[in-house]
Amino acid sequence: MDKSELFKALSEAIIKGDQNTAEELAQKSIKNSINPIETLQNCLIPAMDIVGQKFENQEFFLPEILIAARAMEHALNVLKPEIEARRKQEKSPEKEITVVIGTVKGDIHDIGKNLVKFFMEGAGFKVFDLGKEVSAETFIQAIKKRNADILCMSALISTTMPYFRTVIKKLEEEGLRDKIKVMVGGAPVTEEYAKKVKADAYAEDAFKAVQIARALLEEGK
């Protein structure tokens, strides 16, 4: 099985929600020396986009999405140690960067947020994950307690995205806005939207999130 055949089969297993096959094929990708980051970026994440399209076309309903998401996580768990091993070879930043991350109130999508966390930890950042459905108050408390450098907020639904602004307003009220960089993301979020809610940055994926986080803190020096 060559790379494109394997990606096709793995993508199909995820879409079908076949956990065992997804896991086996992820293992096979590693045996075949395929870069695990490439498998994540070019197979696992696009497979979830197809699942989303099927949901939009009413071909899929919530149970199908949920089992597809679980199959994706099974494959991801196989890839994670391999990705970590590669990341360890990269040099970690001189100063430890502290991040508070969470999916905003009203939103339970956490796969993307978990990936951002995973890549940030891999880059040597200290990440405090508040989970999903996080309120502005909980974000503020954690930022104060951890003396965070960066706040990362994730939202996947058009009705929960405006909550970014609620949290940022609260930061302003608390006099914390100048002390922290705010990054936002999630499939429907755009650069333009990030500007609108007065965040400092947006990143379209977990890989870019790490680079942009570093650049933001460099800028602020």
Could you give the CA distance from residue 22 to residue 188 in angstroms, rounded to a whole number? Answer: 26
- 3-class secondary-structure state, position 170: helix
77 contributes a contact to ligand B12 by CB under 6 A: no
Interaction residues for ligand B12, span 192-221 (CB under 6 A) = 203, 205-206, 209
Q: Does 48 bind ligand B12 (CB under 6 A)?
A: yes
Q: What is the 3-state secondary structure of 119-133?
A: HHHHCCCEEEECCCC
Question: DSSP letters of 67-92?
Answer: HHHHHHHHHHHHHHHHHHHHHHTSPP
Q: What are the angstrom distances between the C-alpha of 193 and each of 58, 83, 105?
A: 27, 31, 18
Site for ligand B12 (CB under 6 A): which residue of 109, 130, 139, 197? 109
Q: In terms of CB distance, is 74 or 113 closer to ligand B12?
A: 113
Q: If binding is defined by CB under 6 A, does position 156 make contact with ligand B12?
A: yes
Among 20, 32, 49, 77, binds ligand B12 (CB under 6 A): 49
Q: Which residue is nearest to ligand B12 (CB)?
A: 112
3 state DSSP class of 134: strand
Interface with ligand B12 (CB under 6 A), residue from 69, 176, 216, 217: 69
The answer to whether residue 185 forms part of the interface with ligand B12 (CB under 6 A) is yes
